[in-house]
Amino acid sequence: MSLSFLLLAVAALCALSFYFGRQRAVALSGGRHSNLHSLPAHYGAYTAAWCGIPALFLILIWYMFQGTVIETLIISDLPAEIVNDSGQLSLALNSISLIAAGNGEHLSVSPEIIDAGRRLGNLQTVANVALVVVILSAAVLGLAVSYRKIEAEMRARNNIERIARYVMIGCSAIAILSTVGIVFSLLFEAMHFFTKVSPLEFLFGLEWSPQTAIRDDQVASEGAFGAIPLFAGTLLITLIAMCVAVPIGLFSAIYMGEYASPKFRAVAKPALEILAGVPTVVYGFFAALTVAPFLRDNGAVLGLDVSSESALAAGLVMGVMIIPFVSSLSDDVMSQVPKSLRDGSYGLGATKSETIRNVIFPAALPGIVGAVLLAVSRAIGETMIVVMAAGLAANMTANPLQAVTTVTVQIVTLLVGDQEFDSAKTLSAFALGLVLFLVTLGLNVFALKVVQKYREKYD
């Protein structure tokens, strides 16, 4: 029986136990629900939970340990000379599992290995059957025990509450643990990279050219892993994007929040937020196919030498992408400035713009700074637009008309295509990713702190 059938069976048992539990509660109540502590459905859910959750938990545990346990059993029967040599051992284990799967006919291996293969096959069959038996009996046991525990005074409702809490704790633990897992995998691969290239060279080197020889006899450069040009490119594009997004986003937020009539706001605000829903790849080809050629052609008219993949094009489009982000966040913080402050200012005879400039904006400033920082971290991590419009050349330049490259672009190019997975070239992607992660994490934490501090002031 495969896993999906097992899960289906457990689900069916759960449904069944819900029905049984409910029936029993109804029978105990003697037709009047007020005789019960909880509603009949609570008793049903209680039995279903005791039937399903331990079974699912057991399945999880089983799969975590089945592989290791069986492997230990197999290894314990192998001759010592194989076990003591890790290279031979992994080769042997490979052949054993091939034989167990029935694909080992062409292998020329010793009889012990063939024996072990057969044994592995048997063990796996036994394990599968055992799993089904154990799980189903656990489910039935849970059903039976909880069914017998149902009494009129039993607090099924409170029990359900507790079970629900554990389920939710489990879900949040999964979310948090997977983030932690991702961070650690980044960290380990990056450490691996730093054994090949020194962190100092990586963080402060001025030249980026990650081409290394794949084979020893290949003619290729040594490879240079100075990431400064990438950071510089990222910063340049982020700066351009912010120059677009901050004023436009801020002013549109002020207009929407303070000046626009409710009718206009009801139409314009969602329209602005649609910008946030456009897939970034669409922005990407808009940047590459419309904005970049436009800039190049008009630059030529003005006598400027604009390359066809320029920081300017990518930055402008990225800025447009971030406008709704800045505007909706700063709209939020500005609308939180209490009405009493506005009244105070109007009551002194200030005009609308004086009130905004002298009272609302300064009061909202910390929150706006937080919003801008969040937008910056968004811009730094943005990938698609820069992949399509910024280019690959790792130029160290402050000229927005030239092509630059960013951290995200390099990560994409380093990992796309056939690559050797332990070369400095591929590993450098992880180091870049780690730096990117740390920078955006730092910015986010800082920005959220700022926003939070500001919120506390008026609540």
- What is the closest distance, in whole angstroms, from the C-beta atom of residue 330 to other proteins in the complex? 17
Among the residue ranges 155-163, 177-185, 237-245, 357-365, the one whose residues contact other proteins (CB under 8 A): 357-365
Residues in contact with other proteins, shown as a per-residue x/- string from 124 to 153 under the rule CB under 8 A: ------------------------------
170 touches other proteins (CB under 8 A): no
Backbone φ and ψ of 224, nearest 5°: -130, 135
Contact track, other proteins, 230-269, x by CB under 8 A = --------------------------------x-------
Interacting span for other proteins (CB under 8 A) from 80-88, 129-137, 232-240, 344-352 = 344-352
Are 358 and 330 in contact by the 8 Å Cβ rule? The answer is: no
**Residue span binding other proteins (CB under 8 A) among the ranges 210-218, 308-316, 359-367, 403-411:** 359-367
Kindly tell me which of 350 and 439 has the beta carbon lying closer to other proteins: 350
Does residue 330 belong to the site contacting other proteins (CB under 8 A)? no
Residue closest to 183 by CA, chosen among 441, 445, 448, 380: 441
Q: Which stretch binds other proteins (CB under 8 A): 119-127, 341-349, 407-415, 421-429?
A: 341-349
Distance in angstroms (rounded) separating the CA atoms of residues 140 and 169: 25
Residue 285 C-beta-side C-alpha neighbours within 13 Å: 4
Which C-beta is closer to other proteins: that of 161 or that of 354? 354
Q: Does 51 bind other proteins (CB under 8 A)?
A: no
Using CB under 8 A as the binding rule, whether residue 456 contacts other proteins is answered as no
> What whole-number distance in Å separates Cα of residue 436 and Cα of residue 441?
8
The distance of closest approach from Cβ of residue 164 to other proteins in the complex, given in angstroms and rounded to an integer, is 42
5 residue type, one letter: F
Q: Which of 105, 23, 406, 419 is nearest to 241 (CA)?
A: 406
Q: Is residue 334 at the binding interface for other proteins, with CB under 8 A as the rule?
A: no
CB of 362 to other proteins, least distance (A): 7
Amino acid at 342: R
Residue 341 as a binder of other proteins (CB under 8 A): the answer is yes
Query: Which residue, 343 or 420, is less far from other proteins as judged by CB?
Result: 343
Position 452 contacts other proteins (CB under 8 A): no
- CB closer to other proteins, 217 vs 456: 456
**Can you tell me which of 125, 137, 290, 351 binds other proteins, judged by CB under 8 A?**
351
Distance CA 403, CA 257 (A): 38
Instruction: Tell me which amino acid residue 412 is.
Output: V
Q: Which helix (H) or strand (E) holds 183?
A: helix 156-196
Cβ(449)–Cβ(195) below 8 Å = no
Locate tokens 């079974």: which residue? 55
Q: Is 345 in the site for other proteins (CB under 8 A)?
A: yes
Residue 344 CB, shortest distance to other proteins, in Å, is: 4
Sequence-separated (6 or more) residues with CB below 8 Å from residue 402: 307, 310, 311, 395
* Token pair in block for residue 281: 């790849």
DSSP states of 257-268 as a string?
A: IIIS-HHHHHHH
Q: Give the Cα separation of 304 and 27 in Å (integer).
A: 88
User: Residue 358, interface with other proteins (CB under 8 A)?
Assistant: yes
Closer by beta carbon to other proteins, 181 or else 362: 362
What is the distance between the alpha carbons of residues 269 and 258, in angstroms, rounded to a whole number?
13
Contact 406, 386 (CB under 8 A): yes
Under the binding rule (CB under 8 A), the answer on residue 363 touching other proteins is yes
Least distance (Å) from other proteins to the CB of residue 431? Answer: 44
Distance CA(435)–CA(192), nearest Å, equals: 15
If the CB atoms of residues 359 and 371 are measured against other proteins, the closer one turns out to be 359
**Chain contacts with other proteins (rule: CB under 8 A):** 262, 338, 340-351, 354, 358-359, 362-363, 457
